[in-house]
């Protein structure tokens, strides 16, 4: 079990091993597949040719404009083109739902060596050796703060817990999972159906479903989480003894919305992945996170920002 107060802050790289796109991958999927995916879905659902013919040029123009803009991310593109937000949200949701359908876990993954979900679940349950011990699961002192829209973490935890222990009812399992806080800073496409969502994981989505799910996510100019929600997140971070950044890009605007680095005073142990970062980028990230430390000992390796993937970081430092 994890008894120290531990916070995991997740970026796109945290979901990537399970088949979800990074910012770069999302850009490629949108400009390559979004228009064709939506038109194909409209035809499959038997929508009118008039509606399809009216929609197709709009989608094609969006994809071409995004591609030719050379803008590295859909977020930045929509920040610069707020009038395209509705179409952009359709693109994001459809890409994530498509990734969900193809997502893979455990031995079905492309690279099991990056399976940090399984490693973390093992650490959270390794003292639970009989059916009754499952009651201890929600005693793990962990909180997840994610900038991702997907629900892969919730699905993995639910499926793993349900198949690990024979005694709990579905309601009991959900109760345990609900006690592990998972904050989606900018929203999520849908809850698990077991938690009150509309559809099962890997659903065969419809146009109507995609449109409804766009209301659950926020793009750049809409990103204004409630003060109460942010206050909860900041309280959790402030009380943490350990903070792990996993698959995170350390964009200053995302750190600042969490109250970072202001809330970091050197009393927390901080660890972070920096896969494929340069030495200069790692040094700059480390210095930015520790700029409010009360004690700024250059020899003190805190934060530890390391060029490794999520699983390797946890294996070494969890």
Q: What is the largest CA-CA distance in the chain?
A: 67
Quick one: pLDDT at residue 310? Answer: 98
Total domain count, the chain: 2
Which of 18-32, 85-99, 124-138 is least confident?
A: 124-138
Confidence of residue 52 (pLDDT cuts 50, 70, 90): very high
Quick one: pLDDT at residue 172? Answer: 86
Interval 235-245 mean pLDDT: 97
- How far is residue 36's CA from residue 95's CA, in Å, rounded to a whole number? 12
Residues 147 and 46 grouped into a single domain: no
Which of 28-37, 39-48, 202-211, 220-229 is least confident?
A: 220-229
Residues 312 and 253 grouped into a single domain: yes
pLDDT at 167 over 80: no
| Averaged confidence pLDDT in the chain | 93
Backbone angles phi, psi at 10, to 5 degrees: -110, 135
Quick one: pLDDT at residue 299? Answer: 64
pLDDT at 298 over 70: no
DSSP labels, 295-308? ---TT---SEEESS
Residues 51 and 110 grouped into a single domain: no
Say if 233 falls within a structural domain.
Answer: yes
Residues 175 and 263 grouped into a single domain: yes
Residues 60 and 145 grouped into a single domain: no
pLDDT at 296 over 70: no
Interval 41-57 mean pLDDT: 94
Q: Which residues lie across from 272 on neighbouring strands?
A: 245, 305
Question: Which domain does 4 fall in, by range?
Answer: 1-20+105-186+225-318
Quick one: pLDDT at residue 135? Answer: 86
Residues 31 and 88 grouped into a single domain: yes
Read off the pLDDT of residues 119-162 as tens digits, 9 standing for 90 and up.
999 999 998 988 888 889 989 999 999 999 999 999 999 999 99
Q: How far apart are the first and last CA of the chain?
A: 11
Quick one: pLDDT at residue 290? Answer: 93
Read off the pLDDT of residues 249-269 as tens digits, 9 standing for 90 and up.
999 989 999 999 999 999 999
Which of 87, 102, 117 corresponds to the end of one domain?
A: 102
Interval 53-80 mean pLDDT: 94
The CATH number of the domain holding residue 113 is 3.40.50.1220
Residues 154 and 93 grouped into a single domain: no
Residues 146 and 229 grouped into a single domain: yes
Residues 315 and 252 grouped into a single domain: yes
**Those residues with Cβ within 8 angstroms of residue 138's Cβ, 6 or more apart along the chain or in another chain:** 175, 176, 177, 179, 180
Interval 233-246 mean pLDDT: 97
pTM score, whole prediction: 0.94
């Amino acid at each position: 079990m994890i008894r120290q107060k531990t916070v995991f802050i997740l970026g796109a790289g945290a979901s990537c091993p399970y088949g979800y796109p990074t910012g770069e991958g999302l850009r490629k999927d949108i400009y390559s597949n979004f228009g064709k995916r939506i038109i194909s879905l409209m035809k499959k659902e038997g929508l009118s040719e008039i509606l399809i013919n009216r929609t197709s040029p709009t989608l094609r123009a969006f994809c071409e404009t995004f591609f030719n803009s050379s803008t590295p991310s859909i977020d930045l593109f929509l920040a610069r083109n707020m009038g395209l937000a509705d179409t952009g949200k359709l693109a994001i949701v459809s890409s994530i739902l498509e990734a969900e359908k193809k997502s893979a876990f455990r031995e079905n993954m492309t690279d099991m060596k990056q399976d940090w979900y399984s490693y973390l679940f093992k650490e959270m349950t390794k003292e639970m050796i009989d059916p009754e011990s499952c009651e201890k699961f929600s005693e793990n002192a962990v909180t997840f703060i994610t900038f991702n829209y997907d629900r892969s973490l919730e699905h993995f935890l639910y499926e793993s817990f349900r198949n690990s222990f024979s005694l709990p009812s579905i309601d009991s399992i959900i109760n345990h999972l609900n006690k592990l806080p998972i904050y989606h800073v900018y929203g999520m496409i849908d809850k698990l159906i077991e938690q009150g969502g509309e559809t099962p994981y890997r659903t065969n989505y419809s146009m109507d479903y995609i449109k409804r799910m766009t209301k659950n996510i926020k793009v750049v100019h809409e990103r204004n989480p409630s003060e109460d929600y942010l206050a909860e997140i900041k309280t959790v971070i402030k009380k943490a003894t350990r903070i792990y950044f996993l698959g995170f890009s350390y964009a200053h605007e995302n750190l600042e919305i969490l109250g970072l680095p202001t809330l970091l005073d050197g009393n927390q142990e901080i660890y972070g992945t920096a896969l494929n970062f340069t030495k200069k980028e790692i040094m700059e990230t480390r210095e930015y996170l520790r700029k409010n430390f009360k004690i700024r000992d250059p020899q003190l390796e805190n934060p530890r920002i390391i060029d490794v993937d999520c699983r390797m970081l946890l294996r070494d430092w969890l």
